[in-house]
């Protein structure tokens, strides 16, 4: 029978529940257990797909096309199990399901209430995510509950997991609570009172944690641990320090050395071999001993919140480890990039233009793509980054001076990027399917495969077929591809089913490394192997760094 670990948070948000949950899962996986993770988000949105990156951070996309919380990216980077749409659900999805059942008459005329109908629905969703009672069942499902204890939004989730732990029976569920122990500089001491209060709040609703993960800027001394144990009714060995670390990949070792996995296995009556964390130790050693540095600039629209590009940041770091270099990432707001100041990009070893939505900052991204093309700086454009590179090439190389995307200029005379419903034959007829007018869940989402053209840079990186995840609405307009090809742009991959443009590049005879991809390769990068596209991009940055170091005048414009 699948066993469960429920992870809650207290005091403040953004303490790292996702990293803590993923790290515990990684240790349990190293003991030979089959593990998955489930994230419960207490907001009413059906999914984060229409939420601002400034509010929610990155939207992670799974192979089966679900737009999910960014914590699922942490999960995939820490364990072998791939996430699905059933691994993340929201209050919005729960209420939507309950209301649909009520309209269908599934409740047989009963008054529909939070308890038991909403809480039962939450339990059903949790079991589904764990494959409970099926051939896909895991040994342990770690369930992370978003928000903090005391929030009204998360109360139904907490009540649901309390009920589920009782229904499962003894030794089938454990509770881990992540809390905050602040250092008060004026007093010169750590304060345990916020932790006491958050556990008291948790116990008021009937949940007694088995372990406390105490976030702080340092290790918690034994005296404070004993005090926390005494006032929270948690055994001393269950009061575990989670100090700040310089890389998240140290967290599994930190938790293991304090016995968290042993405590959980004892609680759940799991008899397993000892944990083997050698791969994590090797990973930490690699990050600590780089053989060089490359400087990559990310020209984006959401640079004020680094979580907006969480998977991208990690993918670049993974590629750095693979190439034995430290990747230093600088962020420039594309709204502030103009033809007058774009030359500042010359001091970097490579330029990355990430995805995004809306017209704000697009001309700055186009400036960045042009500068990288003309100055032969390695360039990687992802999603919108590919589209702006295509627009820039159309304007300044192919002679289509007013080229644009219909997303930014619906009246553009040269819509080189457009919705597929806007691609028309000469007689004006629509070439393909229509698109729903709703914004939520209407994009090209999830994993799709494409055929790669032999002899191209993309083929060197991927081979014959590339399968990557997508999240976009607008596509490269097939009606302009011939004109762009004649001007020198290489379309090096197209989807197998609809023949949509997936990868564009410049010939290596004219540019050392210039690639734009319509998909999001960052979602499949792991710290163990990196990702072939990012590995190649970082190698190109290394080559550019070595070249400009040998000929300093090349770095000047």
State the catalytic residues.
Answer: 383, 520, 522
- For residue 128, the Cα-to-chain-centroid distance in whole angstroms is 22
Closest by CA position to 456, among listed 416, 389, 509: 509
Residue 75, H or E segment = helix 71-78
Q: How many helices and strands, by DSSP H and E, does the chain display?
A: 17, 23
Q: Helix, strand, or coil here: 492?
A: strand
Q: Which residue is it, tokens 């869940």?
A: 441
Structure tokens at 373: 């093309």
Place of tokens 């093309």: 373
Q: Which residues contact 105 (CB under 8 A, 6 or more apart)?
A: none
- Strand ranges inside 458-518, DSSP E: 465-472, 475-476, 490-495, 501-505, 514-517
Q: At what angle do helices 155-168 and 119-130 cross, to 10 degrees?
A: 60
Question: What backbone phi and psi angles, to 5 degrees, belong to 33?
Answer: -90, 150
Dist CA 33 CA 28 (whole Å):
6
Q: How far apart are CA 98 and CA 91, in angstroms?
A: 11
> 3-class SS at 388?
helix
Residues 6+ apart with CB under 8 A from 518: 383, 386, 387, 470, 472, 475, 476, 500, 501, 502, 503
Q: Are 378 and 514 in contact (CB under 8 A)?
A: yes
SS3 439: coil
Cα distance between residue 194 and residue 267, in whole Å: 26
Listed in sequence order, the residues at least 6 apart from 431 whose beta carbon sits closer than 8 Å to its beta carbon are: 420, 423, 424, 425, 478
User: How many whole angstroms separate alpha carbon 266 and alpha carbon 257?
Assistant: 16
Backbone angles phi, psi at 35, to 5 degrees: -125, 145
Q: Measured on CA atoms in the order 214, 217, 221, 227, is the torsion positive or negative?
A: negative
- First-to-last alpha carbon distance for the chain, in angstroms, is 65
Please state, in angstroms and rounded to a whole number, the distance separating the CA atoms of residues 251 and 245.
8
Bond into 475 cis (ω within 30)? no
Angle between helices 532-550 and 310-322 (to 10 degrees): 70
Could you give the count of Cα atoms lying within 13 Å of 35 in the half-sphere of its Cβ? Answer: 25
- The secondary structure of 192-241 as a DSSP string is -HHHHHHHHHHHHTT---SEEEEEESSPPPHHHHHHHHHHHT--GGGEEE
Q: Quick one: CA torsion of 252, 144, 44, 98, rounded to 10 degrees? A: 150
């Amino acid at each position: 029978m699948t066993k469960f670990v429920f992870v809650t948070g207290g005091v403040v948000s953004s303490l790292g529940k996702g990293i803590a949950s993923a790290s515990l899962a990684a240790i349990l996986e190293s003991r030979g257990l089959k593990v998955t993770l489930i994230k419960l988000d207490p907001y009413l949105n059906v999914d984060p797909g229409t939420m601002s990156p400034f509010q929610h951070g990155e939207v992670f996309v799974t192979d089966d096309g679900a737009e999910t919380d960014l914590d699922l990216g942490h999960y995939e980077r820490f364990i072998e199990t791939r996430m699905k749409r059933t691994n993340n659900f929201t209050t919005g999805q729960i209420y939507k399901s309950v209301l649909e059942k009520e309209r269908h008459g599934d409740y047989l005329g009963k008054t529909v209430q939070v308890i038991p109908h909403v809480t039962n629905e939450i339990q059903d969703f949790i079991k589904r995510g764990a494959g409970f009672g099926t051939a896909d069942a895991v040994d342990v499902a770690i369930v992370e509950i978003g928000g903090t204890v005391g929030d009204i939004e998360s109360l139904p989730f907490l009540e649901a997991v309390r009920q589920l732990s009782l229904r499962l029976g003894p030794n089938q569920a454990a509770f881990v609570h992540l809390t905050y122990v602040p250092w008060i500089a004026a007093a010169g001491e750590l304060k345990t009172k916020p932790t006491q209060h958050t556990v008291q709040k948790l116990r008021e609703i009937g949940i007694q944690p088995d372990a406390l993960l105490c976030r702080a800027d340092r290790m918690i001394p034994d005296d404070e641990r004993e005090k926390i144990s005494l006032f929270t009714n948690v055994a001393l060995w269950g009061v575990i320090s989670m100090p700040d670390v310089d890389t998240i990949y140290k967290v599994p070792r930190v938790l293991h050395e304090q016995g968290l996995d042993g405590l959980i296995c004892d609680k759940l009556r799991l008899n397993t071999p000892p944990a083997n964390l050698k791969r994590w130790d090797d990973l930490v050693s690699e990050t600590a001993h780089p053989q060089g540095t490359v400087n990559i600039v990310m020209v984006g629209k959401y640079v004020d919140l680094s979580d907006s590009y969480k998977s991208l940041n990690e993918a670049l770091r993974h590629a750095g480890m693979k190439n034995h270099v430290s990747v230093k990432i600088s962020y420039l707001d594309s709204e502030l990039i103009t033809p007058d100041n774009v030359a500042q990009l010359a001091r970097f070893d490579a330029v990355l233009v990430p995805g995004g939505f809306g017209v704000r900052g697009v001309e700055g991204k186009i400036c960045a793509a042009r500068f990288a093309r003309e100055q032969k700086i390695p360039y990687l454009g992802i999603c919108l980054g590919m589209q702006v590179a295509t627009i820039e090439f159309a304007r300044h190389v192919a002679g289509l001076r007013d080229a644009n995307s219909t997303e930014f200029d619906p009246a553009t005379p040269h819509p080189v990027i457009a919705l597929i419903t806007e691609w028309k034959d000469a007689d004006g007829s629509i070439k393909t399917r229509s698109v729903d007018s709703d914004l939520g869940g209407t994009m090209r989402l999830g994993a799709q495969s494409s055929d790669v053209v032999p002899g191209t840079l993309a083929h060197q990186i991927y081979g014959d077929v590339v399968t990557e995840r997508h999240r976009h609405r607008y596509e490269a307009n097939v009606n302009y591809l011939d004109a762009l090809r004649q001007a020198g742009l290489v379309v090096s991959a197209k989807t197998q089913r609809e023949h949509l443009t997936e990868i564009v590049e410049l010939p290596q005879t004219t540019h050392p490394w210039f690639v734009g991809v319509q998909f999001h390769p960052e979602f499949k990068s792991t710290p163990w192997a990196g990702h072939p596209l990012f590995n190649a991009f970082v190698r190109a940055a290394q080559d550019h760094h070595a070249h400009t170091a040998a000929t300093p005048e090349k770095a000047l414009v």
